[in-house]
Structure 1
Amino acid sequence: MPCSCSGPAMGPGLLRCITLCLLVASPVSAMVMQNPRYQITRVGKPVTLNCSQTLNHDTMYWYQQKPSHAPKLLLYYYDDQLNKQTDTSDNFQASRPKTSLCSLDVRSAGLEDSAVYLCASSRDTEAQGYLPSTQKPLCFPDPSAFSRTTSSL
């Protein structure tokens, strides 16, 4: 549910709102789709971001990109096995109920969570899928591809 940031609390109250953005390709050409396109919420509220893919890929990834930074891998699923990066906060939880679906839950949104969230998928070999979670997958596109200027959050 959107956060109301108008009225008497417009000044400091604006800081109590979090904006989470997702990059989404057009549904016609998209093989990986994220929903919702953007989310505004109050500090402390939970947020669920959903991702689906039609490619029957073994692996699905969630990245977080803050302004002026490259995307950071938060976690990924290989089949039904969750692999969380060691520096990913326990505030981030994920689920993959089907091969085609993966959700990212922010249990209690904070100002530090304002970012663009990216979902990706890939067909992986079994050996790559079971790398220790401290090793990042090598299949993500060049981060400079995501460094374009976006509207402020």
Structure 2
Amino acid sequence: MSLSNRGPSSLRISLQRFGRIHRPVYRIVAKSRYSSRDGKFHEILGTYDPIPDMHGNKQVSLKIDRIKHWMMVGAEPSERVAKLLGIAEVLPPAPRRVPPRVPFDVLFPREEADSDAESVEGTSAADGAAASSSGAAPEQKPS
């Protein structure tokens, strides 16, 4: 049986969806990169239940020796499988795709209403707004 005839990276370890509507259960399988999500596969390598149980735990079972075998043959894990294998410490932890979320208040700090009413070197806020909207610099008084 030939594992692949399209090159070394044509094998993939990915998820196959099973279960009911609104209650997914996934198989972790070794398959060809070109087969459909729920199509033909070479071997079942584990299962993943993404719905937490009453204690908040998601269930994952892995055949670690077979996963290592398929990776030595040249299979690449999908993004989600790489994350699961990183959590199980089979692979190094997967890098984050997006930077950590920054709170809105840090990005856009609030300005107090009093700062808008302050005058700029003898001109009122209304004169400064009119001057800035016309494109001319505000006039300066000689001292």
The structure whose RCO (Cα within 8 Å, separation 6+) is larger is: 1
The two structures have a TM-score, normalised by structure 2, of: 0.24
The two structures have a TM-score, normalised by structure 1, of: 0.23
Which structure carries more helix by proportion? 2
